[in-house]
Amino acid sequence: MLLYVLRRLLTAIPTLFVIVTLAFFLIRVAPGGPFNQERGLSPEIKANLEAQFGLNDPLWVQYLRYLKNLSQGDFGPSYNLPDFTVGELFAKGLPISIQIGASALVLALLLGTLLGIVAALNQNRTGDYAVIALATAGSTIPTFVIAPIIQLVFGLTWKLLPIGGWGDGALVNKIGPVLTLALPQIAIVARLMRGSMIESLRSHHIRTARALGLSDWSIVVRHALRGAILPIVSFTGPAAAALLTGSIIVETIFAIPGVGRYFVDAALNRDYTLVMGTVVVIAIFTIVFNLIVDIMYAVVDPRVRYD
């Protein structure tokens, strides 16, 4: 198992290298640069700016320099927020995005799994219909609708939560963003769980367990759940990578200083170093979470072995 993990981590290095290389050249293909704006700069001033950031060197020189700095953990300065390095921006923003994303994920997994089981056990009865209705609503109402509704109801009308802001990480400031992020995920998890649970409950070993006269509780929790949880495990990997790296919609509407907004803003601003930083971070999260999912498989399902 340890060998397997090591091997997977080693293969991640060339994968990262390919991703970094592709991203580096792709963003340069986009027209315009970090210093194009409404108020055009004179060629001399633009040249001064480009020289300051080394953008006047040939592209391959910039590429090699970037790789060298990256290998030392230096992501370079942000062009659009020059008072901060990309590393500093992530050091400040990523923990915030992770807190919001992780809370939403845990909430989604717990609540979604529970709702899914309830629905499966009450298949085609009221409880099932209620969960399906909730899940359909949760996955079809976009976050940019949910978020303002939460602000209006909980913030302005009931005055229970602040409208926006991080408030140095106060609990009340997190509730709105976490709920908004979690709702669609709860819906997905509930639907997945319902489907796989129904299937699991029909399988041979469950029928055997019932024939042996085991209690309902024991059948569901100890036997059916184990088989049914696998789709949730596969879902969790990419979902975690996406949630923990922030959401531009939730962060913009709730004015949360996470890193979600950088993915879009950096590309639109041609903030090359920040674009690269976000690419590297997402790539690492995706690789790591896929690995965790594969390990989890082995833990949950005795049929899976990596030796």
Residue numbers of the site for other proteins (CB under 8 A)?
Answer: 30-45, 48-49, 51-53, 80-84, 89, 92-93, 148, 151-152, 155-156, 159, 162-166, 171, 251-258, 261, 268-270
Q: Assess contact for 127 and 118: CB atoms under 8 A.
A: yes
Which pair of structure tokens corresponds to residue 37?
């704006």
**Bridge partner list, 85:** 77
Identity of the residue, 52 or 140, whose beta carbon is nearer to other proteins in the bound complex? 52
3 state SS of 241: helix
Q: What letter would DSSP give residue 85?
A: B
Q: Looking at beta carbons only, is 89 or 187 nearer to other proteins?
A: 89
Nearest approach, Cβ of 260 to other proteins (angstroms)?
A: 10
Nearer to other proteins, 47 or 134 (CB): 47
CB 235 within 8 A of CB 189: yes
CB of 269 to other proteins, least distance (A): 7
Q: How far is the CB of 64 from other proteins (least distance, A)?
A: 22
Quick one: 269 or 286, whose CB is closer to other proteins?
269
The least distance separating other proteins from the CB of residue 49, rounded to whole angstroms, comes to 4
Looking at the Cβ atoms of 7 and 92, the one nearer to other proteins is: 92
The pair of three-digit structure tokens given for residue 295, joined into one six-digit string? 């390990």
Closest approach, Cβ 298 to other proteins, in A, equals 33
Collapsing DSSP to helix, strand or coil, 77 comes out as strand
The Cα-based distances of 80 to 49, 264, 266, 267, 290 in angstroms read: 12, 13, 8, 11, 33
Q: φ, ψ for residue 77 (rounded to 5)?
A: -80, 150
